[in-house]
Amino acid sequence: MPTQAVVIGVDSSTQSAKAAFIEVATGRVLAVGRAAHEVSGAGGARESDPEAWWGALREAVAYGLKESGVPASSVTGIAVAGQQHGLVVLDGSGSPVRPAMLWNDTRSAPQAAALTGELGGPGAWTGRTGSVPVASLTATKWRWLREHEPRAAEAAAAVRLPHDFLTERLAGVAVTDPGDASGTGWYSTKTGAYDPELLDLIGLDAGLLPTVAPTGGTRAGSLTAAAADALGLPAGIAVAAGTGDNMAAAVGLGLGGGGLLDHPVLSLGTSGTVFAATRARPVSPALSGFAAADGTYLPLACTLNCTLAVDRIAALLGLSRDTAEAGGEVVLLPYLDGERTPDLPEASGSLIGLRHTTSRQQILGAAYEGAVVTVLRALDEVLRACGLDPAGPEVSARPLRLVGGGARGRHWVETVRRLSGRPLLIPPTAEPVAVGAAALAAGASTGNDPVELARAWQSAVGGTVELPPVERDTATWSRVSAAIDRAASG
């Protein structure tokens, strides 16, 4: 192993690729390369060209390699964490048959409802997969493709998730991991394998799917000569199986391997996501009962509308995001792209409670409040699935780990504090997904446990911000929560 061993963790997200170069011995982030890629679509469609992901990965790695200043020979491993649920359909040459349908593509909502009923209802699905079909799950997108674009489905020689596609480009092998596989709707968290009955139900041949590695830190293979030439890296370095973005974030935060976490995670990004790691397999129709990258479980709830939706409201109002004020009597549910939690794929944004005295700043503040209450209600469901009472004094006193782009926004942080009434921990890294992927790469190259490596890195780096609780704004909570209940009831 080189004197200064370095690993690369790639976060291939909805809109960009990030490549974190991390020193294995210290956890020091040497550089983060970034490159954007496009999302297209209207009327519920959200699609990207998988080749653009590969191009962005190459660009991000090249930039990170230059900025880090380390020789390429120091790199010992690489792993990809990708946006979950996306449907990638490949032909016999490994090229995409069509653009990938992304997680936030809501066109398959009717197929999700149909599949739920065909298996016998929500309980039948959670008993097998841990999750009830919604438009985000890959199985619903495959059903949509078969119904709306049968020629594309018939042309499929391989079906992949976004991170599988990129891992295959790196190592030349078709492999996924239990974490990302558990978001497909055809993988059983109960058996730890693809479910033949579910594959028959959606009309998908298991032979089109990648092998499932034991964990995301398993060495899937070695960097091929072609990939090494494209990336400027040594051929033969370790390529980990990788995982989904949320599972990688949990690894990057050093979470897993035990019981319920002391600090559940709230991620404020394109979507608002909450999760906790547990050894007990959660079964609740209100959330996604995912597997984790380390062999435990990751009960998770995701809302579609978070930072981008609030930024859009700010743009419509002609305001900068940090000029927001508390919403007062105004309630704004920023469900600009439908919603996933609650499951309202056809929903649109709503604004109620306007007065002559209402300011633009208060309307913007109400958008923050609508997004935050939605995601905090989802957190309550995660805690209940882990057997805890969210309102119990022992639970409500537990800090929340706040991550994602919103964790760097003053008004996001203050709105979460005010509406949760809980202490917050803000980890020093702004890239937990990329750091988690790097830990998986380090595990694949050294044989060490990725979660333990990430914990050691966190301890060495330090710098976590701790914010004490403030008095909870129960009036705003009740007002927004009632509006959400009305929207969910139709």
Q: Is residue 312 part of a domain?
A: yes
Report yes or no: 435 and 250 within 8 Å, Cβ to Cβ: no
Domain that includes residue 182, residue range: 6-246
Give every residue of the chain whose pLDDT is below 50, as ranges.
259-260
- How does DSSP classify residue 150? H
- 438 belongs to a structural domain: no
Same domain? 489 vs 341: yes
- Nearest-CA neighbor of 80 among 141, 171, 5, 154? 171
- Is 365 found in the same domain as 300? yes
219 and 148 inside one domain: yes
CA distance 129 to 126: 5
- Assigned domain for 252 exists: no
Task: Indicate the residue among 226, 246, 266 that finishes a domain.
Answer: 246
Beta-strand ranges (E) seen in 270-354 are 272-275, 288-291, 297-303, 331-333, 350-352
103 and 237 together in one domain:
yes
Is 328 a domain residue? yes
Task: Collect all residues with Cβ–Cβ distance below 8 Å to 14 and sequence separation of at least 6.
Answer: 39, 48, 83, 102, 103, 104, 270
Is residue 169 within 8 Å of residue 154, measured between CB atoms?
no
Find the DSSP H helices in 386-431: 393-396, 410-420
CATH of residue 301's domain is: 3.30.420.40
Angle at 437 between CA 247 and CA 401, to 5 degrees: 50
pLDDT, position 1: 56
Whether 415 and 365 share a structural domain: yes
224: enclosing H helix or E strand: none
- 442 part of a folded domain: no
Active centre residues (catalytic): 245
At residue 2, the pLDDT reads 63
What is the pLDDT, as a whole number, of residue 257? 63
Q: Measured between alpha carbons, how far is 436 from 81 in angstroms, rounded to an integer?
A: 8
Number of domains forming the structure of the chain: 2
Which residue among 182, 213, 246 closes a domain?
A: 246
- The answer on 402 and 304 residing in a single domain is yes
Supply the pLDDT for residue 259.
46
Boundary residue ending a domain (225, 246, 267): 246
The answer as to whether 251 is a domain residue is no
Do residues 267 and 376 share a domain?
A: yes
Say if residue 107 is in the same domain as residue 151: yes
User: What secondary structure letter does DSSP report for 137?
Assistant: S
Clarify whether residues 274 and 231 are in a common domain: no
Dihedral (Cα; 462, 463, 469, 475), 10-degree rounding:
-120
Q: In this structure, how many other beta carbons lie within 10 angstroms of the beta carbon of residue 469?
A: 16
Judgement on whether residues 214 and 274 belong to the same structural domain of the protein? no
**pLDDT at 258 (0 to 100):** 53
Q: Are residues 214 and 122 in the same domain?
A: yes
Beta strands (DSSP E) in 197-333 are: 211-212, 219-222, 238-240, 243-244, 265-268, 272-275, 288-291, 297-303, 331-333
- In a shared domain, residues 32 and 145: yes
For 371-401, what is each residue's pLDDT tens digit?
999 999 999 988 888 788 788 877 778 889 9
Distance CA 340, CA 353 (A): 24
| Residue 439 placed within a domain | no
